[in-house]
Every structure is written in C-alpha cells, then in structure tokens.
Amino acid sequence: MLTKVLWLSLAGACGTVSRYLICEIAGKFKSCPLPIGTFAVNIIGSFLFGLLYASAQSRFNLNHETRTILLVGFMGAFTTFSTFAFDTAKLVQTQQWAHVIGNIGGQVLLGVVAMVAGVLLGRAI
C-alpha cells in the first residue's frame, strides 16, 4: 500500500508540474479574454485521459494499479476542473457573460470531444 501511495504521489507531482508549465506557456497569450491556461489544460487533459484509459487496457495491457497511478495520480493532478470553476466564477463576478458562456461551453464541449478522440485513438493504436 505504501509503495502505491508513493507512486501516486510521484505521478501527482508530475501532473501538477505539467499543468503549471502548460498554464505558464498559455498565459503568454494575453490577447485571449478566456482563462486560456486552464482551458488548454482541460482540453489536453480530457484527450490524454481518454487516450491513457483506452490504450492502457487495449494496447499496453497495464494492470489495475498502474492504470490507477496514471489516471488518478498524474491525470488527477494535471486536470484542473476546480480551477475552471474558480476562473468561471471570476468571470461571473465581473459580469462578463459572453466570456462565461464561451468558457463553460468551450471547455465542456471540446473536453467531451477530446475525450472521445482520445478513447478512439487509444483503441486504434
């Protein structure tokens, strides 16, 4: 059990650092009115989660513990739904309604599309 927790922690740390780096890179696009870092991480994360989920079972035949480390550890730390909610709440507080709708609609719709694409690619490879 301790070994599994240590692996989960390491994977989570890697996911957190990956999220931070992507948000930093995306943050350089100051002209975008949406929280583009969170947006990018949620779409990339949705795709990667689907890809890892599908390919871990079909392509790589990873055991349950390894899948848990990848999906719960890395992906759990990488994806940022709570940050998405916080960023959206900030847009609501400033009454930027078009940006609220664009942020929610864009991330949810593209996230679902990215998840399906990841699953399909994961099953295909």
User: Stretch 90-107: mean pLDDT, rounded?
Assistant: 95
Mean pLDDT of the chain: 92
Number of residues written out for the chain:
125
- The string of pLDDT tens digits covering residues 33-71 is 888 999 999 999 999 999 998 898 778 889 999 999 999
Furthest-apart CA atoms within the chain: distance in Å: 48
CA-wise closest residue to 12 among 79, 86, 88, 82: 79
107 phi/psi in degrees, rounded to 5: -70, -40
Which long-range contacts link 65-72 to residues 24+ away (Cβ below 8 Å)? 65/4, 68/4, 68/8, 69/4, 69/7, 69/8, 69/11, 70/11, 72/8, 72/11
Percent of the chain at pLDDT exceeding 70: 100
Q: What pTM was computed for the model?
A: 0.78
Q: Which is higher by pLDDT, 30 or 73? A: 73
